[in-house]
Amino acid sequence: MLSEGNHHVCDGRVERRPRSDVILGPVSDLWRVAEKASERFAAQALEYDRFRPRYPDSVFDDIILSTGLAVGDHVVEIGAGTGIATVPLVDRGLEVTAIEPSASLAELAESKVIGRARIVVGRFEDFSLDSSVRLLAAFNSWHWLNPRIAVDLAAQLVEPGGSLALVWTEVISWGEEPFEERIAETFGSPWTKRLDHVDGSMRPIRQDGRFDEFRVRHHPSERTLDASTFVAVTKTYGSDYTDEEYQSIERTINSEFGGAITKVEDAAIYLATRLN
């Protein structure tokens, strides 16, 4: 067997050697403020649980079908929050271990699953498990992880042939035209529709030879939000906007859009298989 840089050459086949210490291109560093973000989410735990969007049922059905999961298979969920994704996973007969750094959010998740899932309070980077799992899933949470630690831990946890499923909610439209123009006028710039950190947080996985290429699956949905709910949802994501700005966009929805807007979102699933 010959070694060529970051590859093994064996019997004429080139196999990538895992090198999680070599990462090319910009990588998300959002994990550096993850603790503060967790504290912010915890401070508004009830609002977070009430107003954060639920995922379409098709998301969970698609994950199960695409990964070949069966009833009783073990799943580890990263950043479970208040159990918004945990409950649908449990309802489909999966054995779920859900990790959540905020005790306040974890308590709400526990109250929903009532012993049907194992809720672990802590950081994924500190998590350990004696056995491997069929699926490691993160719903709007992977970008909060230290990429170097997270990729290695994911490769250790997921059994060969198992899957890594990363889900992010991406905005297709903030509302009917010209609502996006009103947002830019009110807050000083257009609102992003896709987190910049999404690609950066996936880059280390794409460059790691232990996982294959991501397959992307889309699940669009619509939500009609009245003015006060739109503001309440927005506040749960954290920002430096002022009360006056929030009041202004609320007045705009009431006066120009009949009191409600229809927000179009896409629950995008990024699936990768753990290679042998």
Cis peptide bond N-terminal to 18, omega within 30: no
CATH code of domain 25-170+194-221+265-273: 3.40.50.150
Find the range with the poorest average confidence among 4-13, 101-110, 176-185. 4-13
pLDDT tens, position by position, 169-207: 999 999 999 999 999 999 999 999 987 788 889 999 999
Matching residue, tokens 């996936």: 202
Query: Tokens standing for 7?
Result: 């590859």
> Which amino acid, residue 71?
V
Identify the DSSP state of 185: H
pLDDT of residue 16: 32
Q: Quick one: which H or E segment has residue 2?
A: strand 2-4
* Choice between 9 and 88, residue whose per-residue pLDDT is larger: 88
Rounded Cα distance, 99 and 32, in Å: 18
pLDDT of residue 26: 57
Cis peptide bond N-terminal to 178, omega within 30: yes
* Choice between 95 and 32, residue whose per-residue pLDDT is larger: 95
Exposed/middle/buried for 275, CB within 10 Å: 0-12, 13-18, 19+?
middle
When pLDDT is cut at 50, 70 and 90, the band that residue 2 belongs to is very low
pLDDT tens, position by position, 236-271: 987 789 999 999 999 999 999 999 999 999 999 999
Mean pLDDT of the chain: 89
Rounded Cα distance, 59 and 37, in Å: 26
pLDDT of residue 271: 98
Structural contact between residues 116 and 95, judged by C-beta atoms closer than 8 angstroms: no
Rounded Cα distance, 32 and 239, in Å: 17
* Choice between 107 and 18, residue whose per-residue pLDDT is larger: 107
66-86 average pLDDT score: 97
When pLDDT is cut at 50, 70 and 90, the band that residue 3 belongs to is very low
pLDDT tens, position by position, 9-63: 233 222 333 333 333 345 567 778 878 878 888 888 899 899 999 999 999 999 9
> Which amino acid, residue 141?
S
Q: What angle do CA 227, 232, 234 make, to 5 degrees?
A: 95
Rounded Cα distance, 186 and 12, in Å: 61
pLDDT of residue 18: 35
56-83 average pLDDT score: 98
pLDDT tens, position by position, 149-165: 999 999 999 999 999 99
> Which amino acid, residue 222?
E
pLDDT of residue 196: 79
- Is the pLDDT assigned to residue 109 strictly greater than 60? yes
Bridge partners, 272 (sequence order): 164
User: Which residue from 79, 81, 78, 74 is spatially nearest to 112, judged by alpha carbons?
Assistant: 81
- 216 phi and psi, to 5 degrees? -110, 135
* Choice between 276 and 37, residue whose per-residue pLDDT is larger: 276
Structural contact between residues 69 and 94, judged by C-beta atoms closer than 8 angstroms: yes
pTM here is 0.86
Structural contact between residues 135 and 165, judged by C-beta atoms closer than 8 angstroms: yes
Torsion (CA) 107, 113, 116, 119 in degrees, nearest 10: -30
Rounded Cα distance, 274 and 239, in Å: 36
Rounded Cα distance, 208 and 178, in Å: 43
Query: Tokens standing for 174?
Result: 């903030």
When pLDDT is cut at 50, 70 and 90, the band that residue 121 belongs to is very high
pLDDT of residue 4: 30
Rounded Cα distance, 202 and 138, in Å: 12
pLDDT of residue 5: 31
Beta-carbon count within 10 A of 236 CB = 17
Q: What percent of the chain has pLDDT over 70?
A: 90
